[in-house]
Amino acid sequence: MSSTAIPKRVALNRNPGTDSSVPSVSASPFDSPRHSPSSTSLSSMASDVENKTKMLDTYGNEFKIPDYTIKQIRDAIPAHCFERSPAISLYYVFRDIAILASIFYVFHNYVTPETIPSMPLRVALWTIYTVVQGMVGTGVWVLAHECGHQAFSPSKVLNDTVGWICHSALLVPYFSWKISHGKHHKATGNLARDMVFVPKTREEYASRVGKAIHELNELMEETPIATATNLLLQQLFGWPMYLLTNVTGHNNHERQPEGRGKGKRNGYFGGVNHFNPSSPLYEAKDAKLIALSDLGLAITGSILYYVGSTYGWLNLLVWYGIPYLWVNHWLVAITYLQHTDPTLPHYKPEVWNFARGAAATIDRDFGFVGRHIFHGIIETHVLHHYVSTIPFYNADEASEAIQKVMGSHYRTEAHTGWTGFFKALWTSSRVCHWVEPTEGSKGESEGVLFYRNTNGVGVPPAKLSK
């Protein structure tokens, strides 16, 4: 099988000198636009008319709605891939904790003023410590994520016990996250119900930048500095903001079945967060689990306070605080890139179904770290959205099996390698501003939305009358 099952991605710049909805080809999304040699030909004009009846992703590739069933997906997966081994799963937990403890022991005892007199060298080494511990800590986060999906073992008690301990140690409210994350899996790609990295619609984006929706075509290009600033804020504060304010989650809390969402909105004081048992993210029956999640955070917070007051707050910052920020960075980057890409569709509720939504995600590759430290969460995420109870150590085989069913609907950027992961962070930030239907789409196609942007990359935004 080739490295990607979709048509070759072509980075496109819009041609400001034509009204065509078919963008001209350029070597890079950041090159200057140039005119297509056939932009005025009869064949080009005919192509424009034809493409207006198609669904086009950001890069101008034609999109077709998935046409297979969940039963076909599950039937394609070998039966042994569904087997969960408590022994194997616990091995990885103990392995990762042993790595964390060993690295701390070595640095605490041997990267000291007595053994390394050079202050700059010690700073450099402790910086490496924070990066490595952050990566290994992310691996522990992923194993707790396995627990939340009951992919860790057949025992719900074991899953929730290990998950609660591991996530609490990383200041993650285990049950609170488990419940909201489960809702994300049930509504992936659904603009009204998804729980994470729900893209802005054209109207929402226009409101954010203080413009009318028809004016987005005329906005000036976003500066690279603005893109970098937004990306930095996302990576630093995205995770705590999600827990505290439900940023990037849906904002349709009035639909909460028990009426707990009445008058509540995402935001600092909107009553929507992952810590309050009365949050509209949950039902009344979840209250005890939310409280238990909060208890786990309180225990970890107390231990951290003891360590900081006993051994020094600067030591605590280096030992735990900065690695914790690295864990948050990886968590946000991984999740963002799993669900944000110029080739991915999003659906209005009336045309969404589970099979379509689960395909609205993408696999990438992060080399040795992705496979052996992050436990394959980057490389097999499409499979994970179809069958989330398959343990990570069986995911490669199962992922290969479902690709035969998905065909061209399977999306991967694995061929770009680990450097492509970082490039995708920048590209998606520049290219994925809001979603809207392809201009001229009719019927069901009107409910399938794709990313558009103000940076002149790819298919232009639809032209709307005032």
CA atoms within 13 A on the CB side of 376: 16
Which residue did the predictor score with more confidence, 52 or 395?
A: 395
Secondary structure of the chain in the HEC alphabet? CCCCCCCCCCCEECCCCCCCCCCEECCCCCCCCCCCCCCCCHHHHHHHHHHCCCEECCCCCEECCCCCCHHHHHHHCCHHHHCCCHHHHHHHHHHHHHHHHHHHHHHHHHCCCCCCCCHHHHHHHHHHHHHHHHHHHHHHHHHHHHHHCCCCCCCHHHHHHHHHHHHHHCCCCHHHHHHHHHHHHHCCCECCCCCCCCCCEHHHHHHHCCCCHHHHHHCCCCCHHHHHHHHHHHHHHHHHHHHHHCCCCCCCHHHCCCCCCCCCECCCCCECCCCCCCCCCCCHHHHHHHHHHHHHHHHHHHHHHHHHHHHCHHHHHHHHHHHHHHHHHHHHHHHHHHHCCCCCCEECHHHCCHHHHHCCCCECCCHHHHHHHCCCCCCCHHHHHHCCCCCHHHHHHHHHHHHHHHHHHCCECHHHHHHHHHHHHHHHHHHCCEEEECCCCCHHHHHEEEEECCCCECCCCCCCCC
pLDDT band at 311 (very low <50, low <70, confident <90, very high): very high
Q: Residue 217 has what pLDDT?
A: 79
Let me know: does 357 contact 161? Beta carbons within 8 Å.
no
Q: Residue 53 has what pLDDT?
A: 65
Distance from C-alpha of 255 to C-alpha of 459, rounded to nearest angstrom: 34
* Nearest 10 degrees: Cα torsion 47, 16, 450, 427: 120
- Answer yes or no: is pLDDT of 12 > 80: no
Q: Residue 343 has what pLDDT?
A: 96
- Answer yes or no: is pLDDT of 96 > 80: yes
Identify residue 6 by its one-letter amino acid code. Answer: I
Backbone angles phi, psi at 117, to 5 degrees: -60, -25
- Answer yes or no: is pLDDT of 48 > 70: no
- Answer yes or no: is pLDDT of 42 > 80: no
Q: Residue 214 has what pLDDT?
A: 83
Distance from C-alpha of 21 to C-alpha of 50, rounded to nearest angstrom: 10
**Per residue in 398-407, pLDDT tens?**
999 999 999 9
- Answer yes or no: is pLDDT of 25 > 70: no
Q: Residue 221 has what pLDDT?
A: 84
pLDDT band at 35 (very low <50, low <70, confident <90, very high): very low
pTM: 0.87
Domain assignments of the chain as residue spans, ordered by start = 73-452
Q: Residue 45 has what pLDDT?
A: 42
Nearest alpha carbon to residue 138 among 388, 426, 377: 377
Compute the average pLDDT of residues 206-229. 87
- Answer yes or no: is pLDDT of 216 > 90: no
